[in-house]
Amino acid sequence: MRNTLKSLTKTIIMKPIYNLGTALSILIVACACSKSPKSAITEQPPVSTEPVKTEVGFWLTKGDQSVLFKKQNVALNFSATTNSNPTIEVDPSTTFQSIDGFGYTLTGGSASLINALPAADKDKLINELFGTSDDAIGVSYLRISIGASDLSAAPFTYNDLPDGETDEALAKFSLAKEQADLIPVLKKIVAVNPTIKILGSPWSAPIWMKTNKNFIGGSLKPEYYQTYAKYLVKYIQAMKAEGITIDAITPQNEPLHPGNNPSMYMEALDQANFIKTALGPIFQTAGITTKIIVYDHNADKPEYPIAILNDTEAKKYVDGSAFHLYAGSISALTQVHNAHPDKNVYFTEQWVGGPGNFSEDLKWHVSTLIVGATRNWSRNVLEWNLAADPNYNPHTDKGGCTTCLGAITVAPAVSRNVAYYVIGHASKFVKPGSVRIASNVISNLQNVAFKTPDGKNVLIVCNNNNDATVFNIKYNGKIVTSTLDKGAVATYVW
């Protein structure tokens, strides 16, 4: 994660939420005409709290934060009536990619903050994030760093040695530094959601394998390709022994950005050579079924993953390509899909820059990622990062992200920020195994639709107009009519 690059993204205007209050209801009383000898007070009838009969569930978040991911008690029932409103037509007969899940990067710093909570608070939070209860958001996909990321307190790998030493047998490999926080938190998460998918991404190989023998920058020496592949095998096996299954890995986080702390530079040709000569064959020999996903960097360089997939020897070991969006267009995911439609596409990272602006970033992240990435073939959407403290800590020195706002802030009281709601609008409803289905974008109502494994339809809509918009949802020849304020996000389920 490079601060200078990330400052260029539209998402720089993101503001944390602290101590959200409830709105004060004001009862307006009507006065009688001045000719009347007395003032007459008309009492309003009480608002019913009984659930209305509705065919469509409707969850809403408004940009002004007056409503935050709340189910609405309104009747939305399909009928054969017609009107002139713009209409989003959902067509389940046209299908696209399957969905693996929605979630966050559980950085080392996120794990430390969560693990430091009192036991009862920690369990409650983990159930809220990863569970299936009414008040949970059902996160189904996590990304973790293999070794430290720039949102760890300090850089490390699982085979750090004194200067001048090597360990090609990997006899000193150890997950000991993850036993304090990451592994205990992951075990609790897996207990709540045993099927959660976990992607591992390294920020750096052990520095004795690198050209500059430094955590920042440098490249993996070709003579250590075999050793590093075995290092990744040992990592997957060691995590499995802890009860944690690594579904996929990328060979390198942001391989074209050597300025992070930690980081490692890896050009496309080098990544292809590493995969076809070492990582793929060694995974195969060791019986490792963990997916290999290439690139894991910005959408401005689709030629990087395409170059790897054009190499037939490398391609046979590759499941797909992963993207971030600190540069480029989300449409690049379709470009890569079209070049190699037999390989998958993933969206694995996007930050929220503090302090920011809730309304603008809600709109941008939902429209561009939840809607945009999935409409461009992505099987997942992951926000960076799950948790930070009020000062955006912890992070590494000299290259760590200093303004990365978590989906939650741990102060130690927990507050929920915009990425919590961005992901929640999808993760709660679009379960793994869901399939994207066709829907049209009309009148600046950005949207995407899915069919879930249990047969439900889910439509996520963001109103990118400057005014409230009335529109229809059409399904099987019938419509329901709904209204969204400007910048509001809604999930409809039927």
How far apart CA 434 and CA 450 sit, in angstroms, is 6
The per-residue pLDDT of the chain, averaged, comes to: 92
Task: Determine phi and psi for 466, rounding to 5 degrees.
Answer: -90, 0
Section 345-359 average pLDDT: 96
**Predicted confidence band of residue 182 (pLDDT cuts 50, 70, 90):** very high
The per-residue pLDDT for 25 is 35
| pLDDT per residue as tens digits for the range 132-141 | 999 999 999 9
Give yes or no for residue 129 having a pLDDT over 90.
yes
The per-residue pLDDT for 202 is 98
Section 372-387 average pLDDT: 98
| pLDDT per residue as tens digits for the range 442-489 | 999 999 999 999 999 999 999 999 999 999 999 999 999 999 999 999
Section 95-124 average pLDDT: 98
How far apart CA 190 and CA 186 sit, in angstroms, is 6
Q: What SS3 class is residue 437? A: strand
The per-residue pLDDT for 434 is 99
Section 168-195 average pLDDT: 98
| pLDDT per residue as tens digits for the range 306-331 | 999 999 999 999 999 999 999 999 99
**Predicted confidence band of residue 46 (pLDDT cuts 50, 70, 90):** low
**Predicted confidence band of residue 356 (pLDDT cuts 50, 70, 90):** confident
**Predicted confidence band of residue 1 (pLDDT cuts 50, 70, 90):** very low
**Predicted confidence band of residue 48 (pLDDT cuts 50, 70, 90):** low
Question: Which among 439, 387, 373, 283 has a CA at the least distance from the CA of 100?
Answer: 373
Higher-pLDDT residue of 3 and 413 is 413
Structure tokens given for 43: 């009492």
Exposure class string for 204-227: b at 16+ Cβ within 10 A, else e: bbbbbbbeeebbbbbbbeeebbbb
Give yes or no for residue 161 having a pLDDT over 90.
yes
**Predicted confidence band of residue 41 (pLDDT cuts 50, 70, 90):** very low
How far apart CA 359 and CA 365 sit, in angstroms, is 10
Contact 246, 238 (CB under 8 A): no
Section 302-308 average pLDDT: 99
Planar angle of CA 319, 320, 321, nearest 5 degrees: 150
Please report which helix (H) or strand (E) contains residue 6, including its range.
helix 3-6
Q: Which residue's entry shows tokens 């050793």?
A: 227
Section 27-34 average pLDDT: 32
How far apart CA 126 and CA 111 sit, in angstroms, is 11
The per-residue pLDDT for 49 is 75
| pLDDT per residue as tens digits for the range 244-275 | 999 999 999 999 999 999 999 999 999 999 99
Residues with a catalytic annotation lie at 254, 349
Give yes or no for residue 45 having a pLDDT over 70.
no
**Predicted confidence band of residue 44 (pLDDT cuts 50, 70, 90):** low
How far apart CA 443 and CA 85 sit, in angstroms, is 10
Section 421-441 average pLDDT: 98
Q: In the chain, what percentage of residues exceed pLDDT 90?
A: 89
